[in-house]
Structure 1
């Protein structure tokens, strides 16, 4: 394949029509600017789980078991804390707060459920209004209140779930209780949508409730919806990244004009990528916050290599045109290889089970292509235009020298890898192979995780962030997270498993089947007299039968085996149960009676994996199709997909990148074996990265599950630059002189690129989302490992490749000496 013809056409456009190229790229930039206004955002963990069968079951439950014309609702959590929140003063605080919430129209409160209301009802069973509940407590003596608390604890299972773990029945005391406010959403508001969803309506409900809370004898806290830190994080990360980029560009270029060219190219890359997101309709989610730093880092890597190589040629005495042609001849090919392998690495994420990860792969791969075009064509065209202008006009040139020289401290440090490759490459590679094998065994113990906590900021933001300017300064802390942590530490964490049953519920055996499934449940299920604690059509039926003799007689007539569960003429039973002024069946029985929902209470302290296994055990007891769901099931199933996604993307990346490199080096050099040389440092990098994750206690999750594909995509960048530069030098020089020029020349640019990338992406540690901060740290670590392996390990790999794949027979001193010693010893031994 005559690829040089294409390179020549690119060279011709850059050096002979540079101004036309610049104008064309600026016009395309304007086109992408039009897409910026169409960008939408998406937050929360729901985006990662929406394709799971268990999550889809939640959506089907909401569709089947919500009345057709009901109003959508949102909820707010109230937490009351005191020395004894079940004492009279604290109960009065909560009941007065409840009364004010219900009478404040702007809050659109439909109900306020608290343990204080339960105690008031026990004191006065006839009390039905907030005023009557408050009056019952105000008139009661402490002894009567204590007795009512004990009665509530004995008779109401929900009561003990809403008081803190230190609840003492004997003294009728506890340090905290929690309650729930249900708000009727406004016109056009969407439902909460399951785990991770929820609408913030009314938008100011937390502040309004705080302003009317009565807290003379206690403290009342209000918890709204989880904080969305996407915008705040972006405002923190991008300015910090750009600041560090400018600093490192100043060090790398040491020329203000070249710095300006680099910054303009970065801005164009971001505009193209964000414009692409808006034009194709991909929502900007938390994982996409990592894309700009990645593209900035790779773009600067391209820019530093391009400018540095151009300066090398200029220092050697070539003119502007010849130096740029020589530069683009080599760098365009190297950039194409890097862009191809990196894009493959990112696109492998489209095999992920998580939609945001698939979007990330598409956006990052597109961004890499944009980076290649802008830094491979636009930057050289702009650079040559500026340098020609410098010859005609008095535009100052601060520095025109490349990074790294053989006599510089950096050049001497970089030469260490070449020295090792001369003296003992095979021994060094054996030691690296042993160390990599050991690290690989250790890395197999890395953990996986998927939790809502991955998406929440810390309770308090670091103090140093409070010194930032007001527009990008995050809040000092997040009240939602503080209250959430308090609830986790002080309350029994019961969870729910929702069982979605699809099948005709009018069959005679339908209710018996639900009843049998809940008998002698697994250990993680809460029980009530050997029956699973649940809410279902059966519990509504039993509750009605207890208070309605006529309905109980109807049940008995249709109960063949006498167990209290009707097993014939079920439509007649349902019709009687759903009569006006009686129970609403819409939350337990489908509208067409072709499905049912059973809500089981499970131990919130139990391991999610065990709860999930137990839930599927119960599901298997149904003859009808039964799908367990709920937050525990959803996140456990998501967790099981994390490792699968990591492995899938890793395998696809390795296969795809290796195949691309084999093809590229076969076309370019006729030596496909060079692909193996490229892959060796990447394998070392990936193993070292995963081993570091285990050592640092970092688990794979839905966000950092892309890290291995990214490590390969970015890491190949470094190896490709070294190998391609070596081949270019090897055409004109012997092995070791070619290696020396490669490592010092390209290694200098790699050093600048590495520092820029590590710190540019490392700013993600500022992210308020903890998983995103870890993600940035891992990318920086992978880049550091890729740099070290490319500069210090790759020379020895190249020497071994040259010995095995060519006819040059370059000596390997230690190996040749060992072979010579053995050869000389054998005749002597034979003579004896």
Structure 2
């Protein structure tokens, strides 16, 4: 396929219509600026798990049982600590605090839930108002309160889950409890739709509630919404990245005007990318924080290669137009190959099960195309325009020397790979193969994880961040995280599994089926006499029958097999239970839920398997849910997404490279040569993850596809430059010219990328910090593989193609031995 006409057309636009090109790009920028105001943000872990069946089940449970959550709400958590939060004094503290919060109209309270309220209504079923509930506790004796605690634990699902791990039912004591306050959100404020997803409304509600706390006999802390660190992290990371980028651009270009051109192009690239997500409606989530540094890194790489190649021609005395034509003829094709393979790597994330990961893939792919257009067309056109202006006006030029030369220290260091390729390429590659294979086996042990901790910063921010300007300085401590750590330490988080069952609960066999479902539970489920430790409409009926003779008689009359489970006249029994049944039956009695206690020390994967096994025992549709199951399913999807995106990336990139080099050079095998350093990079990266104890999670699950997408940039530049030089130059001189010329630009690009993306370690989100470190590490590995391993691969490739200049000592020795042996064998004519 002939493509040079297209390159010539681009050359003509850049060289002969440079000003027009610059103006067109600026006009397009105005269009993207219009999308900046439409950017919305999204934070927290819910965005990753909202499509899971188990998460949808918990959403249905929240909607169908108890109060309706159809109204947009936000929430606040109240955490109470005392020697005994179930004592009379501590209960009064919580109720008085609750009353003050409710009475403050500006807090727009729609609902509250505390153990103190549950105990108050257990003491007096007619205590329906806040004041009546307070009086019920004030008038009760300690023994009455203890009895109410035990009764509440028997009859109220979730009562014990609001209490700390040290809750003792017999002594009616616990050292901590947690309650919640729901607030009606204001117009356009959004809702608290999941962990980490709430908006801060009413404004400053935490501070306002803290002033209302009653703490005579206990301590009450207020935990609001999770900190949205996206904005803070962006304000810290981007300026830091720009400072480092400015530093390395100065070193790479050593010219003020060229540095300004590079920075201006970066700004345009960011405007186009952010404008794009605003125009298409992609929310700015935590993963997208990594997109700007990635695009900046690739953009700088393109810019350095373009300017460096242009300078290589200019120092020879070649004119502006001819130098830029030679430059764009070469680098445009390389840029296109890089963009194609990188876009494949990024778009492979569209196959992910996580919506934010899919958005990341689309955004990064669009961004890489924008990067190609801006640095492949706009920057050369602007450079031509500026250099022509320099010939007319006294605009200072500080340096036009390219990075890297044969006699420079950098040039000698870059030639190490060429030296190895001369002396023993095959032995070296066999050594690399053994190390890579061993690392690959080791890398299979890398773990996966999905935890709320992946989305929260540390409770205390690093001290060095406190020296930042006040406008971008994060708080010294995140109170939400501190309290969350307290909850993790003192409350059982994963000790419960819920079963959401959809079916007609008024049919005669409904309760018998629930009862049978709890018989002989799996090993991870707590049990008593081969019956699961659970809370359900069945246990509620049993508890009511134990203390209410009249209700027990009703049950007995409708219990055909005398096992204590009614199997007829169920609507009447439900009516007798009254509001107590709301925690287990939906209003239309078309679904129910069962709460099972599970071994908190059991592996999440085993608990999940057991829960799904138990769900098969029910006649109706039964969906297990709970934090254990949700996060275990998310972990499975993380691993699946990693493997799928990696396979798609490697296959897609390999096919693209083979096709590209077939069309461009007539040598598809160069595409395979191009892939070898990438395989080495990916294996080394995953092995490094295991060494330092990093797990694949929802955030860094994209890292392998990104490593391929970015890393291939380095090998493409080396292979394509070599192919160009190899047309007119012998093997080793072409190889040396490639690694010294292109290697100099790669070194500047690598340093800028490693440190530019490396600033993500400053991110307040720990997973994002690890993500930045992994990207930097992948770039470093790709750089080393391209300049140290790739030259030997190219020499072996050249020898296989019949180039006798490719000196491979072992093969040469074998060939000589074969020739010598052939010369000593007598011919048949002499026999």
Alignment of 1:625-664 (within 5 A): 625-664=621-660
Given that residues 75 and 192 in structure 2 are in contact (C-alpha distance below 8 angstroms), is that contact kept between their aligned partners in structure 1?
Answer: no
Given that residues 494 and 627 in structure 2 are in contact (C-alpha distance below 8 angstroms), is that contact kept between their aligned partners in structure 1?
Answer: no
Deviation at 1:822, TM superposition (A): 7.9
1:776 aligns with 2:772: yes
Counterpart pick for 1:156 among 150, 153, 160: 153
The CA distance in 2 between the partners of 1:737 and 1:352, in whole Å, is 45
TM-score, length-scaled by structure 2: 0.92
**1:421-463 deviation line (CA, Å, top 9, x unaligned):** 1111111111111110110110010000011111111111100
Given that residues 429 and 796 in structure 1 are in contact (C-alpha distance below 8 angstroms), is that contact kept between their aligned partners in structure 2?
Answer: yes
Counterpart pick for 1:676 among 672, 677, 689: 672
1:183 aligns with 2:182: yes
**1:729-787 deviation line (CA, Å, top 9, x unaligned):** 11111111111110000000000000000011111111111111111100000000000
Deviation at 1:82, TM superposition (A): 4.5
Alignment of 1:106-125 (within 5 A): 106-109=106-109, 114=114
1:602 aligns with 2:601: no
1:570 aligns with 2:567: no
Alignment of 1:386-425 (within 5 A): 386-425=386-425
The CA distance in 2 between the partners of 1:485 and 1:62, in whole Å, is 24
Given that residues 63 and 70 in structure 2 are in contact (C-alpha distance below 8 angstroms), is that contact kept between their aligned partners in structure 1?
Answer: no
The CA distance in 2 between the partners of 1:222 and 1:242, in whole Å, is 38
1:716 aligns with 2:715: no
SS state at 1:433 partner:
helix
Q: Relative to structure 1, is the Cα distance of residues 349 and 163 closer, same or farther in structure 2, using a 3 angstrom cutoff? A: closer
The CA distance in 2 between the partners of 1:692 and 1:250, in whole Å, is 32
Q: Relative to structure 1, is the Cα distance of residues 555 and 653 closer, same or farther in structure 2, using a 3 angstrom cutoff? A: same
Q: Relative to structure 1, is the Cα distance of residues 400 and 73 closer, same or farther in structure 2, using a 3 angstrom cutoff? A: closer
Q: Relative to structure 1, is the Cα distance of residues 198 and 732 closer, same or farther in structure 2, using a 3 angstrom cutoff? A: same
Given that residues 505 and 511 in structure 1 are in contact (C-alpha distance below 8 angstroms), is that contact kept between their aligned partners in structure 2?
Answer: yes
Counterpart pick for 1:764 among 760, 766, 772: 760
The CA distance in 2 between the partners of 1:656 and 1:616, in whole Å, is 36
Deviation at 1:466, TM superposition (A): 0.7
The CA distance in 2 between the partners of 1:372 and 1:695, in whole Å, is 36
Residue ranges of structure 2 left out of the alignment (5+ in a row): 827-831
Q: Relative to structure 1, is the Cα distance of residues 791 and 342 closer, same or farther in structure 2, using a 3 angstrom cutoff? A: same
Q: Relative to structure 1, is the Cα distance of residues 61 and 181 closer, same or farther in structure 2, using a 3 angstrom cutoff? A: closer
Per mean C-alpha deviation after superposition, the further-off stretch among 669-678 and 153-162 is 153-162
Per mean C-alpha deviation after superposition, the further-off stretch among 206-215 and 131-140 is 131-140
Given that residues 185 and 191 in structure 2 are in contact (C-alpha distance below 8 angstroms), is that contact kept between their aligned partners in structure 1?
Answer: no
Q: When the two structures are aligned, how many residues end up with a matched partner?
A: 822
Given that residues 418 and 796 in structure 1 are in contact (C-alpha distance below 8 angstroms), is that contact kept between their aligned partners in structure 2?
Answer: yes
The CA distance in 2 between the partners of 1:166 and 1:596, in whole Å, is 29
Aligned counterpart, 2:608: 612
Alignment of 1:60-459 (within 5 A): 60-65=60-65, 74-82=74-82, 93-109=93-109, 114=114, 145=142, 149=146, 152=149, 156=153, 161-165=161-165, 176-186=175-185, 192-459=192-459
Counterpart pick for 1:753 among 723, 746, 749: 749
Deviation at 1:394, TM superposition (A): 0.5
Per mean C-alpha deviation after superposition, the further-off stretch among 762-771 and 599-608 is 599-608
1:40 aligns with 2:35: no
1:501 aligns with 2:498: no
**1:117-175 deviation line (CA, Å, top 9, x unaligned):** 677789999987766776787789xxx7489558846973666655544567899875x
1:583 aligns with 2:548: no
Per mean C-alpha deviation after superposition, the further-off stretch among 416-425 and 112-121 is 112-121
Deviation at 1:563, TM superposition (A): 2.1
Q: Relative to structure 1, is the Cα distance of residues 577 and 152 closer, same or farther in structure 2, using a 3 angstrom cutoff? A: closer
Deviation at 1:518, TM superposition (A): 1.7
The CA distance in 2 between the partners of 1:772 and 1:74, in whole Å, is 26
The CA distance in 2 between the partners of 1:139 and 1:96, in whole Å, is 15
The CA distance in 1 between the partners of 2:650 and 2:169, in whole Å, is 62
Superposition CA RMSD, Å = 3.0
The CA distance in 1 between the partners of 2:66 and 2:492, in whole Å, is 28
1:790 aligns with 2:786: yes
SS state at 1:220 partner:
strand
**1:210-233 deviation line (CA, Å, top 9, x unaligned):** 112233454321112211111111
Given that residues 269 and 367 in structure 2 are in contact (C-alpha distance below 8 angstroms), is that contact kept between their aligned partners in structure 1?
Answer: yes
SS state at 2:353 partner:
coil
Deviation at 1:501, TM superposition (A): 1.7
Aligned counterpart, 1:477: 477
Given that residues 115 and 177 in structure 1 are in contact (C-alpha distance below 8 angstroms), is that contact kept between their aligned partners in structure 2?
Answer: no
Residue ranges of structure 1 left out of the alignment (5+ in a row): none
Given that residues 313 and 323 in structure 1 are in contact (C-alpha distance below 8 angstroms), is that contact kept between their aligned partners in structure 2?
Answer: yes
The CA distance in 1 between the partners of 2:233 and 2:628, in whole Å, is 28
Deviation at 1:41, TM superposition (A): 1.0
Aligned counterpart, 2:829: none
**1:49-72 deviation line (CA, Å, top 9, x unaligned):** 122222222334445446679756
The CA distance in 2 between the partners of 1:216 and 1:619, in whole Å, is 47
The CA distance in 2 between the partners of 1:312 and 1:45, in whole Å, is 50
Per mean C-alpha deviation after superposition, the further-off stretch among 639-648 and 684-693 is 639-648
Per mean C-alpha deviation after superposition, the further-off stretch among 535-544 and 281-290 is 535-544
